[in-house]
């Protein structure tokens, strides 16, 4: 068995995959429809939308396959993602790269594989649309064209997922994206017994900025706020614009004291912008910090409600 090589753009590719906020999400009909269609169209027992993560391939949708993921080092998709064209293995038993692969000699007993790369909107390959048979199979031009068409449909759905979880103005996560990421992050914290802190933030005086300088300037203030937030956060932190002037940050493996330091760093970044930009107004914000408590915060909404309450207490004290 031959272990797949690593793509030359692996780090950028993985960053793109993580930014889609799609890994480990629940099944969705729009993807399941595509794998059912591929299964029927090509007359195969298995069709999969596979996303190639750092050490695994995870199945966003799988028709005819019960597993949700497999190790990347034994995956066919790990090989397929190295190229730009459809990757075809007519008979895995006759191919030295796969003849003794566990997925060939054991369940699901792969003999035929065809995978078409799936690209994110920025062009990076994040996964494959693949079909699998337990018998050797040939693949003609008509099948190749159909595979390309189905892959294009899958790429459209991936792009739609990204748009649905990003705030259009600021390009950080929106409420839906935050809820998805926060759920997985907090599950991880609970399993690993890690601390986590939530920072609930409200951009001060947005209405006054809109009324005095116009809504375009208000949008600029929101965009700058989000950009400074991203620039001062760690890679593992999850930030989002919940809507209007409300922002939130979930800091993983961070105590309240750690969170205060992050907020202080962000505050200094905002102050530096105010001094340099001189827009006729200052960007400022109110915030509340709450530590994640597995007993008290049974849901993400409960955690958000506590953060919101603390933030408004500070906002009222300012007035």
Q: Which residues of 203-220 are buried (b: 16+ CB within 10 A; e: fewer)?
A: bbbbeebbeeeeeeebeb
Mention every residue, 6+ apart, whose C-beta is less than 8 A from residue 205.
Answer: 281, 284
Q: Are 21 and 145 in a shared domain?
A: yes
- Whether 308 maps to a domain, the answer reads yes
pTM above 0.75, yes or no: no
- How would you list the strands of the sheet with 112-119, edge to edge? 69-71, 56-63, 46-52, 125-133, 112-119, 87-89
Query: What pLDDT, on the 0 to 100 scale, is given for residue 174?
Result: 92
Query: What pLDDT, on the 0 to 100 scale, is given for residue 80?
Result: 97
Tens digits of residue pLDDT in 78-137: 999 999 999 999 999 999 999 999 999 999 999 999 999 999 999 999 999 999 999 999
- Whether 30 maps to a domain, the answer reads yes
Of 144, 165, 186, which one is at a domain's C-terminal end?
Answer: 165
Q: Are 159 and 184 in a shared domain?
A: no
Beta bridge partners of 173: 166, 240
Of 165, 194, 222, which one is at a domain's C-terminal end?
Answer: 165
Secondary structure of residue 11 in the 3-state scheme: helix
Number of domains comprising the chain: 2
CA 185-191-196 angle, 5° bins: 45
Query: What pLDDT, on the 0 to 100 scale, is given for residue 38?
Result: 95
Residues of the chain with pLDDT under 70: 318-319
Helix (H) or strand (E) segment spanning residue 177: helix 175-192
Separation between Cα atoms, residue 152 and residue 116, nearest integer Å:
9
Of 117, 133, 165, which one is at a domain's C-terminal end?
Answer: 165
Going by the DSSP 8-state scheme, the letter that residue 166 receives in this structure is B
Q: Are 145 and 187 in a shared domain?
A: no
What's the CATH code of the domain at 111? 3.30.450.40
The structure tokens listed for 246 are 């409300």
Q: Are 221 and 78 in a shared domain?
A: no
Query: What pLDDT, on the 0 to 100 scale, is given for residue 295?
Result: 80
- Whether 234 maps to a domain, the answer reads yes
- Whether 155 maps to a domain, the answer reads yes
Residue 255 near residue 262 (C-beta atoms within 8 A): no
Helices (H), 23-140: 29-42, 76-80, 102-105
Q: Are 141 and 17 in a shared domain?
A: yes
Domain holding 54, by residue range, is: 10-165
């Amino acid at each position: 068995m031959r272990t797949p090589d690593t793509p030359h753009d692996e780090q950028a590719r993985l960053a793109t995959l993580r930014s889609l906020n799609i890994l480990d999400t629940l099944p969705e009909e729009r993807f399941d429809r595509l794998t059912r269609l591929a299964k029927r169209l090509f007359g195969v027992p298995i069709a999969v939308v596979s996303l190639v993560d750092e050490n695994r391939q995870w199945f966003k949708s799988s028709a005819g396959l019960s597993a949700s993921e497999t190790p990347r080092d034994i995956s066919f998709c790990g090989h397929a993602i190295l190229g730009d064209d459809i990757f075809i293995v007519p008979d895995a038993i006759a191919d030295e790269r796969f003849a003794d692969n566990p997925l060939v000699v054991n369940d699901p007993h792969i003999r035929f594989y065809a995978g078409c790369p799936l690209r994110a909107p920025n062009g990076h390959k994040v996964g494959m649309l693949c079909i699998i048979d337990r018998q050797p199979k040939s693949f003609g031009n008509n099948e190749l064209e159909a595979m390309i068409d189905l892959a294009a449909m899958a790429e459209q759905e991936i792009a739609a997922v990204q748009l649905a979880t990003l705030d259009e103005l600021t390009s950080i996560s929106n409420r839906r994206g935050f809820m998805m990421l926060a759920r997985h992050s907090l599950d991880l914290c609970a399993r690993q017994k890690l601390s986590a802190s939530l920072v609930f933030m409200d951009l001060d005086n947005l209405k006054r900025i809109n009324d005095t300088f116009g809504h375009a300037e208000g949008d600029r203030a929101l965009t700058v706020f989000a950009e400074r937030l991203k620039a001062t956060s760690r890679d593992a932190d999850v930030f989002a614009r919940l809507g209007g002037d409300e922002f939130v940050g979930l800091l993983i493996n961070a105590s309240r004291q750690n969170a205060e330091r992050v907020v202080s760093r962000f505050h200094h970044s905002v102050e530096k912008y105010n001094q340099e930009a001189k827009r006729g107004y200052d960007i400022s914000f109110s915030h509340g910090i709450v530590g994640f408590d597995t007993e008290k915060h049974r849901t993400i909404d409960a955690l958000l409600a506590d953060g919101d309450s603390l933030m408004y207490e500070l906002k009222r004290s300012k007035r």
